[in-house]
Structure 1
């Protein structure tokens, strides 16, 4: 999704640093990162191990606070918010998808997806309705009462994506979302993320080390040694081959 010239970025990072430890053992993971993210972009964040990409993702998702610099979200300086204030912003505007799925093993798909709504205090009837809609959006209608152990890896990741989008977030952050999947399931998940971005306008930020998966993004940002080494549009963006994401076996 394109943005009009001069549009204010959804996210602005200015001079972001992150230092772990102190004194002689201190390690600077981020060394002054400047980055703008506009509403509706799909950004793949890449880089070798230790490049700072995961640290940057944690900062972007308000899971960690920078050591210095400015982070503006919708024009608000979130780096200066308290822990509770950051948590409220995170719950309201961000959804998260992780490599390991992070589903509750003895809990149904429906209940897993409802969990963020429980934290938000939504009534039970509304939770059920919203969770059912999110599961249908990721192609899992009819699988609501299955536990993770009864689902394939691709289906589990789609439950995780449904859980991430059920709160209707402005930003979906995906950390190696295909890392535990085979090639076919990886393609299904990437096609789903592509559709959420293009058809629903959700801003997607994805950390990946796989060029084939990054190809679905509209923009490629590469980290090296704690800084942004390259930031460019993806002129050859991949598109789904099928009319819709197919159900995993």
Structure 2
């Protein structure tokens, strides 16, 4: 029997000690199958971002088990977790996290550079990734020359250029207006639906969470609800933006 893609068992995360101790997670159990689109919701301080950091191998649990494809991530060394991130995980953040003086193409190439891919292979893969998010022709533009929605598309291209199994999106529409937010959600939905990429998304916006087929709610470091969304929002495909005239 194939194990779930992701499984958290009794995961806790404690910060500090004594009077300053904070229990961000208090025995979290979570299971995610390959190909799911899961929205993680909850108020500030509920533990959702802490859980996301653990799932992304950016942090480690204080106790409990984290299994990825059946392997115990909590037992891996820092270097082994880094290799897991590079091979299987892609990240999209609220703040885009693009290098300001670097072109869109070079920003997307970064994960492949860290992986040690050859320059020609990096450029070809980054070009394909930008084309897949509707930014063909924008390869040489820097973040300052792009709109917020375009910058987030570059960030998504960077997340998928390694062909990850999972995209972890932390408030991916938090810095965008309503129209751009729905465009980005349509893109994430297409990646999940058409390419089989598992998407785990933290959001506080119900209309963005409505794109997911499953909604998990956190309260005070624990899972308060885990519900199937019977009527997820279905978005039209994202249209490519025309390149600027030379």
TM-score range, shorter chain: over 0.9
Q: How far has the Cα of 1:23 moved from its partner?
A: 1.5
For residue 3 of structure 1, what is the aligned residue in structure 2? none
TM-score norm. by structure 1 comes to 0.95
Give a deviation string over 1:4-27, Cα, whole Å, max 9, x none. xx6521001000000000112111
Give a deviation string over 1:183-204, Cα, whole Å, max 9, x none. 0000000000000000000000
- d(CA) in 2 for partners of 1:131, 1:185: 22
Contact kept in structure 2, 1:152 and 1:248, CA below 8 Å: no
For residue 163 of structure 1, what is the aligned residue in structure 2? 158
- d(CA) in 1 for partners of 2:137, 2:63: 48
Contact kept in structure 1, 2:190 and 2:237, CA below 8 Å: no
For residue 93 of structure 1, what is the aligned residue in structure 2? 88
SS at match of 2:187: helix
Choose from 103, 108, 113 the match for 2:103: 108
Give a deviation string over 1:174-219, Cα, whole Å, max 9, x none. 0000000000000000000000000000000000000000000110
- d(CA) in 1 for partners of 2:2, 2:81: 25
1:203 correspondence with 2:186: no
5+ residue gaps, structure 2: none
Map of 1:61-76 to 2, 5 A cutoff?
Answer: 61-76=56-71
SS at match of 2:208: helix
1:141 correspondence with 2:136: yes
Give a deviation string over 1:27-57, Cα, whole Å, max 9, x none. 1000000000100000000000110000000
Give a deviation string over 1:87-134, Cα, whole Å, max 9, x none. 111111000000000000111000000000000000000000000000
1:188 correspondence with 2:151: no
TM-score norm. by structure 2 comes to 0.97
CA pair 35-71 structure 1, distance change in 2 beyond 3 A? same
Q: How far has the Cα of 1:247 moved from its partner?
A: 3.0
5+ residue gaps, structure 1: 1-5
Choose from 127, 130, 150 the match for 2:125: 130
SS at match of 1:19: strand
CA pair 13-243 structure 1, distance change in 2 beyond 3 A? closer
For residue 244 of structure 1, what is the aligned residue in structure 2? 238
Contact kept in structure 2, 1:157 and 1:189, CA below 8 Å: yes
CA pair 143-77 structure 1, distance change in 2 beyond 3 A? same
- d(CA) in 2 for partners of 1:105, 1:7: 43
Contact kept in structure 2, 1:171 and 1:202, CA below 8 Å: yes
Q: How far has the Cα of 1:244 moved from its partner?
A: 3.3
Q: How far has the Cα of 1:248 moved from its partner?
A: 9.0
- d(CA) in 2 for partners of 1:195, 1:222: 24
CA RMSD of aligned residues (A): 1.2
